[in-house]
């Protein structure tokens, strides 16, 4: 088993091991003092893994109940959080009880936010079931929900007590979901881990075979990188902003397209745009757009923006981004693959040119 410690206050561990899903009940009993367990999941994961986890917990003597909601970004709203909170109250869950986030990024964000505000804060653990949530969203304590005006505009920083990552559960995912998660792994390669970028480039489509050793490497390196960043800057006062590479434009695309595009694919397009912008603004010391485009092409990502997308509208969404401070947007750009920089207030004209060129 690989163990990574995230050195926040309090610190917590990420446990990565094939079939660790079957050991969750025993580890919880050995590691934490709690009462009942609420498994928060979506309707799809409830069928795939929720009932299995509930049975495991109840068989081991832990009273557990499942609370689910419809899958997808459309459920990532304050209404879902309120509905779940009311259900927990009705079932008499108190401050000593534990929440389990079982699912992908949407489930993790909703459960973390709920845990941070329910009865002014209860403990929760993450059991991510998608590659995207295993390599990114389950680690770091960012929680939140969307508003019509944009993504993740209401939320908190609230760290989980533990993260259980079982690569075996990824076997149930379609190729598109693996693509969705790989985008975040590529992001780590672009900003901090050139070796990881090279590994993905060399493996190419072979990664879709989900070789256990490849998965262990991708997940471990991604979590290790994010744990390092979060340990240094838990609440995004500085360094943690580097994790937004590809997300500034990617989130704007998601909002403009009404979340009809998967998060990872939006991030991939966002990374392409931000790599091209790095070259346009003279930030890049070496070519960054072509290497990134090649790696995405080899993994069958779309390489151009939808033709009906309005660059002007995308620009409007950027002005509402959480990273705007005193009217100025800070964006993550690349000096070269594996080395980033922060760029404040990029020229509107250059962003529009970049978006037009990618259509």
Rounded to the nearest 10 degrees, what angle do helices 263-280 and 247-256 cross at? 130
19 is an active site residue: no
Instruction: From the candidates 247, 276, 280, 317, give the one annotated as an active-site residue.
Output: 247
User: Which of 9, 33, 92, 120 does the annotation list as catalytic?
Assistant: 120
How far, CA to CA in Å, does 304 sit from each of 162, 247, 296, 323?
Answer: 38, 16, 11, 25
* Residue in 224, 263, 276, 280 annotated catalytic: 263
Partners of 127 in beta bridges? 102
Q: What is the DSSP letter of 93?
A: -
Which of 226, 276, 280, 317 is labelled catalytic? 226
Is residue 287 part of the annotated active site? The answer reads no
For residue 122, what are the contacts with CB-CB under 8 A and spacing of at least 6?
Answer: 93, 95, 97, 98, 99, 115
- Per DSSP, the three-state class of 327 is coil
The answer to whether 336 is a known catalytic residue is: no
Name the catalytic one among 244, 274, 280, 317.
244
- Active-site annotation holds for 317: no
Would residue 171 show up in a list of annotated catalytic residues for this protein? no
Cα→Cα distances 32→26, 37, 173, Å = 10, 12, 31
The one catalytic residue among 184, 221, 234, 256:
184
Q: Is 120 a catalytic residue?
A: yes
Q: Which of 46, 76, 162, 240 is catalytic?
A: 240
Q: Cα(178)–Cα(170) distance, rounded to whole angstroms? A: 8
Q: Among all residues, which ones are annotated catalytic?
A: 120, 142, 184, 226, 236, 240, 244, 247, 251, 263
């Amino acid at each position: 088993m690989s163990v990574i410690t995230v050195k926040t206050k309090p610190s917590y561990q990420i446990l990565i091991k094939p079939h660790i899903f079957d050991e969750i009940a025993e580890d919880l009993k050995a590691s934490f003092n709690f009462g009942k367990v609420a498994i928060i999941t979506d309707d799809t994961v409830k069928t795939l893994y929720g009932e299995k986890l509930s049975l495991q917990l109840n068989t081991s003597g832990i009273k557990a109940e499942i609370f689910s909601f419809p899958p997808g970004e459309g459920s990532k709203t304050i209404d879902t959080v309120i509905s779940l909170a009311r259900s927990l109250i009705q079932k008499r869950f108190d401050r000593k009880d534990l929440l389990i986030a079982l699912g992908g990024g949407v489930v993790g964000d909703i459960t973390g936010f709920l845990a941070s505000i329910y009865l002014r804060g209860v403990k929760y653990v993450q059991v991510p079931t998608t590659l995207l949530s295993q390599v990114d969203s389950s680690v770091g304590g960012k929680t939140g929900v969307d508003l019509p005006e944009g993504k993740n505009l209401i939320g908190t920083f609230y760290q989980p007590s533990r993260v259980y990552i079982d690569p075996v559960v990824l076997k149930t995912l379609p190729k598109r979901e693996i693509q969705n998660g790989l985008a975040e792994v590529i992001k780590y390669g672009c900003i901090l881990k050139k070796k990881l970028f090279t590994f993905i480039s060399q493996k190419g489509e072979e990664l879709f075979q989900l070789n256990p050793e490849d998965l262990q490497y991708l997940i471990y390196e991604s979590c290790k990188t994010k744990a390092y960043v979060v340990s240094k800057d838990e609440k995004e006062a500085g360094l943690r902003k580097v994790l937004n590479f590809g997300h500034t434009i990617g989130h704007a695309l998601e909002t403009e397209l009404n979340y009809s595009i998967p998060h990872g694919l939006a991030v991939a397009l966002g990374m392409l745009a931000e790599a091209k912008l790095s070259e346009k603004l003279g930030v890049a010391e070496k070519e960054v757009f072509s290497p990134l485009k090649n790696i995405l092409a080899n993994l069958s990502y779309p390489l151009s923006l939808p033709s009906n997308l309005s660059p002007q509208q995308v620009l409007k969404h950027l002005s509402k981004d959480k990273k705007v401070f005193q009217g100025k947007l800070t964006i993550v750009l690349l000096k070269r693959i594996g080395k980033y920089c922060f760029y404040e207030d990029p020229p509107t004209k250059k962003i529009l040119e970049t978006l037009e060129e990618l259509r």
